[in-house]
Amino acid sequence: MESSIRSRFDEFTPNAGARRLAMIVGALIVALVLAPTMFTYISPGHIGIVIHRAGGGVDMVPLGPGLHIRNPLFTAIEEYPTFMQTLVLTRASTEGSTNNDEINVNSKEGQPLSLDVSMSFELEPRKVPALYQTFRTDISIIQHTYVKQAIRQALQEIAGEEAIADVMGPKKAEATGRVQKLLEQRLSPYGLIVRQFTINELRAPSTVIDAINTKNVMQQQALTSQNELQKNTFQAQGDSIKAAGQAKAIMALANAQAEANRKLAASISPTLVQYEIAKKWDGKLPTVTGGAVPMLQLPKN
């Protein structure tokens, strides 16, 4: 009975009130500290991956853009971009990263080939949680590790089937398209959608470049000679056809002239000759003669 009365008395003492006030203030401070972390804002063009700290699992349903409530003690949020990005792998330090990220492969002949490439891609939102669960890191590191290795492997498979002169020349576009198809097949299961792959620059040893240039010059010269030969052949054929046409025309003209002469000869008679002479005589005798007077025989009516 006495202890009960004492406990009730202690409730009204100044120390008990101070303790209660301290607890209330402490709770308010904790609430104020935790309040900002209880809300998560996902930026446009991004999604949020919910990571459960207690079990270490990943929620397979991502958070869309906007404000979300979460438990800061038991969950963490990893934000991933879903807008189009471009990975640039080049030797120059002014593009992509500051490191030398060129891709080195070998051609069909075993010749070394260095390439500067770029790949534009997007992340498929519904597959991003699985992507994070697989690699457990941000997208920038994934680009320069797994994705870069996938690009190198695809380039080696395609370049290893072609001659270096073809890859650097007439088959460059075809090789680029084949590499892009391989990347689409191998990256899509992870939610990486390849939009465009480009080979920006190819570099080979100077001896290889000189050999390619010499080969191109020789091919051009051979092509020029072939064209000239075809031109001369066509010219000769044209001249032959023209000469045959001219000969045929001359023969036709000669035959026509011969036929005309034959008909003309058949139509001439002595009487016709005397008549034609009489038509052209003006009635005057020659002023100088050989001593005899020419006689004209006029045709009889």
Name the residue ranges covered by the structural domains of the chain. 1-34, 40-83, 85-204
Between residues 244 and 120, the one the model is more confident about: 120
For residue 160, pLDDT beyond 50? yes
Average of per-residue pLDDT values in the chain: 81
Looking at residue 219, its pLDDT comes to 60
Q: How far apart are CA 107 and CA 175, in angstroms?
A: 12
C-alpha dihedral (196, 197, 200, 203), degrees to nearest 10: 180
Span 204-225, average pLDDT? 70
Task: Please give the Cα distance from 18 to 10 (Å, whole number).
Answer: 12
pLDDT at position 301 = 47
Residues 95, 84, 179, CA angle at the centre, nearest 5°? Answer: 70
- What pLDDT does residue 9 have? 44
What's the pLDDT at 5?
Answer: 47
200: DSSP letter: E
Q: Are 135 and 146 in contact (CB under 8 A)?
A: yes
The per-residue pLDDT for 15 is 67
Q: Is the pLDDT score of 93 beyond 60?
A: yes
Superfamily of domain 85-204: Band 7 domain (3.30.479.30)
